[in-house]
A and B are shown apart, each in its own frame.
Chain A
Amino acid sequence: MDWNFIIFSVVKVAVVIGAVLTMVAYAVLAERKISAWIQDRVGPNRCAPPFARYIPFVGTFLTRIGFFQPMADGLKAFLKEDFMPAGVRKVYFWLAPALAIIPAMLVVAVIPFGSQIGAQKMVIADLNVGILYTFGIVSLGVYGIVLAGYAANSKYPFLGGIRSSAQMISYEISMGMSVIPVLLIAGNLNLSRIIGWQADHGWMVIYAPVSFVIFLIAAFAETNRLPFDLPEAETELVGGYHTEYSSMKFALFFLAEYSNMIASSGMMVTLFFGGWTLPFWGLDHAATSLGMGLVQIFVFLAKMLLFMVLFIWVRWMFPRFRYDQLMDLGWRRFVPLALVNILVTAVILWMKS
């Protein structure tokens, strides 16, 4: 038993989960602020602890940008009454939020968020089957939502659950197939090696742009974000699969949705945008010093944040797809397109070799 490995793994897990949860909280704030700006509003700018007003300038500035809002939201989620409606299927009702958040958190494990600090690789699990693991875990995410819809024993959550099962399974196929050209080109399933390949040859988005577009759109569908938020369509299904949930159980669904966003942003950065590398300032090879290691983590975070902003931005831009349009787009456009993409990539690689 290698104690060194265990201790460093536990530290990395703790730090990554802490970072992901913090990012989720502030992603909610960003969502509210960006939606406000797009809609000519101000957004949350009042929430502040009592001491904030005594800090000159900084306190008021943080209050204006809503810095303290996520803390208040979290506190509110904890303190609200955890209401369990009559007639729910209790075991599944309790199980569903856990099943929603666990896969969302697990996906983060294989994403390399930096090269290395000291001798430690900045990835929790450097699996050789990284992408397969991701798709395996992501497909579990649908259980939480379906189970939530079923357990609530109520019409709207049920419809949301049905929709999500159909939608997520459909888009998983095109998502999975869109990544195959990337694997063909890089010749590896290990995410760290894929990043290494991109450091040598340039970002994957140049070599497989069609893959990127399909992956991006499928990621929107997988995370139930607009324009594919049919499982929780507020205007049609009240709240969708989490209508009957309250308090921290509801918050877990919320956390799961935003963790999925973070995970898929991380995947997109890793697969298509060179992960923690930048093609200049010597940032394209593993760090030798502590400072470079930290800079590479920040590079990864910055790229990820751009995708988070895109996720949020798109939400306030497009109307929701109709259900048949969604299925049409998934099965009749993206699946054939992904297949052709695989074929063309394979043929080109074969001709070159």
Chain B
Amino acid sequence: MIVNRKPLTFWERLYLPAIAGGLKVTLRHAWRTLFRGKVVTMEYPEQKWAVPTDYRGAPYLVKDQDGNTKCVSCQLCEFVCPPKAIRITPPGPAGQIADRPNAEKMPEEFEINFLRCIYCGLCQEVCPEEAIFLLKDYSLTGQSRDEMIYDKEKLLALGGTHGGIQKWKHKLEEAKEQETFPVKI
């Protein structure tokens, strides 16, 4: 394509209109920023952007509506985790039993190493008990490597109670419809 470049007129070659234009534009922007508060900067720690609903943040353990541990220590997430960020210590035969009905056991220790986690969401997808969820946290910081390995208490505290998803309630309703009761009530 051939662009016809017109020769500049004398007025244009003086640069004066361009200088005036530049002054006007910069002054307008400075004015807007100073007196109208039209700033594009988001001052991060004080202001945070809205996270999309399907955002994959840090995976945390959640509690059920009664505040009990949902995880049954099946170790599927540990198995599926691509970067091997999850480490679960099962309770063993003589260990602690689950603190809720419909479960045999709960993990003795559950650790997620957030230096390794890649936020892929496979743990959430594979979990049969809907006990681990990728929540909205995206800025995990720590002053040492040890600090970035979150243990069970911390994960449960951060995950909070996930009353909305009550898998066993839904299972019970399904069972009632089918009139078979494999589920303890």
Contacts and interface: CB of A to CB of B under 8 A. Distances in A.
A57 interface: no
A37 B30 contact: yes
A289 interface: no
Contacts, number: 35
Given A41-B39, A42-B39, A42-B43, A317 B30 contact: no
B39 A34 contact: no
B40 A41 contact: yes
Contacts of B33: 36-38, 40-41
Interface in A76-95: none
A269 to B, nearest CB: 21
Interface string A40-54: 111001000000000
- Mostly, the B contact residues are helix
A76 B38 CA distance: 32
A38 B41 contact: no
A34 B23 CA distance: 13
Contacts of A36: 33
A40 B40 contact: yes
A37 B22 contact: no
- Mostly, the A contact residues are loop
B30 A318 contact: no
Interface size classification for chain A: 10 to 19
Given A317-B22, A318-B22, A38 B43 contact: no
Interface string B11-42: 00000000100110110011011100011110
Report which residue of B19, B26, B29, B32 has the largest number of chain A beta carbons within 10 angstroms of its beta carbon.
B26
B22 A38 contact: no
A353 interface: no
17 contacts: A34-B30, A37-B30, A37-B34, A38-B26, A38-B30, A39-B29, A40-B32, A40-B33, A40-B39, A40-B40, A41-B40, A42-B39, A45-B43, A313-B23, A313-B26, A317-B25, A318-B22
Given A38-B30, A42-B39, A45-B43, 12 more contacts: A36-B33, A37-B30, A38-B26, A38-B29, A39-B29, A40-B32, A41-B33, A41-B39, A42-B43, A317-B23, A317-B25, A318-B19
For the complex of A and B, the 5 pairs showing the least CB-CB separation, nearest first, are A317-B22, A37-B30, A37-B33, A42-B41, A38-B26
